[in-house]
Amino acid sequence: MHENCYQKLLYINQMQNNLFISGLITLCPTLIALYCTILAPKAIADTFDKDLSNFVSGGGTALYLGAGVTLPLLQDGKQGGQHALRALDSLTTSTLLCISLKEITDVKRPDSDSRDSFPSCHATAAFAIATVQSHYHPGSALIWYSGASLIAYSRINLNRHRLTEVLAGAALGYLTAQLELSQKHGLILFPIISSDDAGESLVGLQVVGSF
């Protein structure tokens, strides 16, 4: 009788082991399929997304800004020089203003201890160029603003800036370019950064010439 009970327990234990092994055999292909169809492509997609953002944020931005300044010389005939100067002036002025604001706001970056996060100068420069180019070439406005938006997004995607910092930078670039375009003659604008007797920072614009 004891022998029969022992054999039954041994049989049950063997069945449990067989079920466990069968479960593993069934689960392994499922896990492999899950990895191949979902997890691996997502990892590859994430890597590609980061690589694309790194390019857009680096060399892509340089190409975009360079094109925004030099294309008028090739496309705009007799007005090409004037348009290129306006684009360069908007780019330079907005970027200098952005750098100055970084010093004043002293906001920590989301990915490091650097305190130069607000606003985003990438977004500022890109939207300054987009605004000038869209003014002279309305038919290409979608292309220019899409490029500027992609540059701005890359800064968020790389965790270099927060959304508010990118939006502030875009607004700064847009408004500076609109100020430039509202003048009858292009203005060479430079920001004035100084401190009063109380140590408070003062920010302004100085007109040093026209063209």
Q: Peptide bond before 110: cis, by omega within 30 degrees of 0? A: no
End-to-end CA distance of the chain: 110
> Which carries the bigger pLDDT value, residue 121 or residue 25?
121
What is the tally of structural domains in the chain?
Answer: 1
Residue 159 is given by DSSP the state: T
Q: What percent of the chain stands above pLDDT 90? A: 58
Residue 34, domain member (yes or no): no
Look at phi and psi of residue 196 and say left if phi exceeds 0, alpha if psi is from -120 to 50, else beta.
beta
Residue with tokens 């003062």: 202
Q: How confident is the model at residue 26 (pLDDT cuts 50, 70, 90)?
A: very low
d(CA 209, CA 211): 7
Q: How confident is the model at residue 49 (pLDDT cuts 50, 70, 90)?
A: confident
- What is the amino acid identity at position 120? S
Q: Output the pLDDT for position 201.
A: 59
d(CA 168, CA 102): 11
- What tokens does 8 get? 């039954």
d(CA 140, CA 124): 19
pLDDT, one tens digit per residue, over 139-170 is: 999 999 999 999 999 999 999 999 999 999 99
Residue 38, domain member (yes or no): no
Measured N-to-C along each axis, helices 80-105 and 61-75 cross at an angle, to the nearest 10 degrees, of: 150
Range of the domain at 91: 46-210
Residue 169, domain member (yes or no): yes
